[in-house]
């Protein structure tokens, strides 16, 4: 097993974060400094900051209904509130799977299962994620079809085809369901900016068929074994 994957499964950090720990010289394998790309065997002794890490991992899985005003990081250099502050006392060293931006609400998974985190976020797996979007005013069919076909949100960056359907509309606002299979930074907000529409509310409501199941805003619960199995086999 690659050292960064081993560290991720320990709940130390994401794989990228684990690579940074290795780069900083904080990780040792059998007494020597680890380097990126090292493999770890069950018989190896792995240390982080001088503390020996166990090869036995207890995975934890949480489902959070993220409110706006929180960032999806373990810590924040701007001292903003993080989603970690919403976890129950006694929760293990888990980390967010993917990100919802500061103003976006909704379904967020936190775990120390690095394989599951990778499965849900790797672009090639095309895991569908559904969002409720509210915009000011109305939207034309031609604009919907343009978004469905993919638009250039940055120079050379074009979104994949996606599903978009109107769920409610009047002259003042329109609510839509948007289903993406990728996760570019602030992708939905940038998509609607391209057609001149301002988003007033954005919430992720589903990953695959997993929903918030009545979970109140700001609340968290453990995933059930059935939900874990479902996500592992998406």
Instruction: Taking residues 131-153, report their average pLDDT.
Output: 97
Same domain, 101 and 155: no
Same domain, 113 and 93: yes
Higher pLDDT, 10 or 136: 136
Same domain, 33 and 93: no
Same domain, 30 and 93: no
pTM over cut 0.85: no
Q: Please report, for the domain that includes residue 196, its CATH number.
A: 3.30.70.1560
Number of domains in the chain: 3
Q: Which of 38, 79, 101, 170 is catalytic?
A: 101
pLDDT digits (tens, 9 = 90+) for 56-109: 777 899 999 999 999 998 888 888 999 999 998 888 788 999 889 999 999 999
- For 160, other C-beta atoms within 10 Å of its C-beta total 13
- Token digits of residue 199: 């988003």
* 101 in active site: yes
Give the span between the Cα atoms of 186 and 104, in whole angstroms.
Answer: 9
Same domain, 132 and 185: yes
Q: Please report, for the domain that includes residue 8, its CATH number.
A: 3.10.290.10
pLDDT digits (tens, 9 = 90+) for 174-200: 999 999 998 888 999 999 999 999 999
- pLDDT value of residue 87: 93
Q: Is 133 helix (H, G, I), strand (E, B) or coil?
A: strand
Domain span including residue 88: 61-123+213-232
């Amino acid at each position: 097993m690659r050292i960064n994957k081993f560290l991720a499964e320990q709940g130390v950090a994401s794989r990228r974060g684990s690579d940074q720990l290795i780069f900083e010289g904080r990780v040792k394998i059998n007494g020597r400094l680890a380097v990126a790309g090292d493999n770890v065997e069950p018989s190896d002794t792995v240390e982080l900051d001088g503390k020996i890490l166990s090869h036995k991992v207890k995975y934890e899985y949480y489902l959070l209904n993220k409110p706006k005003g929180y960032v999806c990081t373990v810590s924040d250099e701007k001292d903003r509130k993080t989603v970690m502050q919403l976890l129950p006392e006694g929760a293990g060293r888990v980390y967010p799977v993917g990100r919802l931006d500061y103003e976006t609400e909704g379904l967020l998974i936190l775990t120390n299962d690095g394989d599951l985190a990778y499965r849900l976020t790797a672009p090639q797996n095309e895991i569908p994620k559904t969002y409720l979007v509210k915009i000011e005013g109305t939207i034309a069919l031609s604009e919907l079809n343009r978004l469905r076909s993919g638009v250039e949100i940055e120079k050379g960056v074009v979104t994949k085809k996606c599903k978009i359907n109107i769920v409610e509309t009047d002259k003042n606002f329109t609510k839509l369901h948007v289903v993406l299979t990728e996760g570019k930074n602030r992708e939905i907000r940038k998509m609607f900016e391209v057609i001149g529409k301002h988003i007033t509310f954005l919430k992720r409501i589903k990953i695959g068929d997993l929903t918030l199941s009545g979970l109140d805003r700001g609340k968290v619960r453990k995933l059930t074994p059935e939900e874990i199995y479902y996500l592992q086999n998406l």
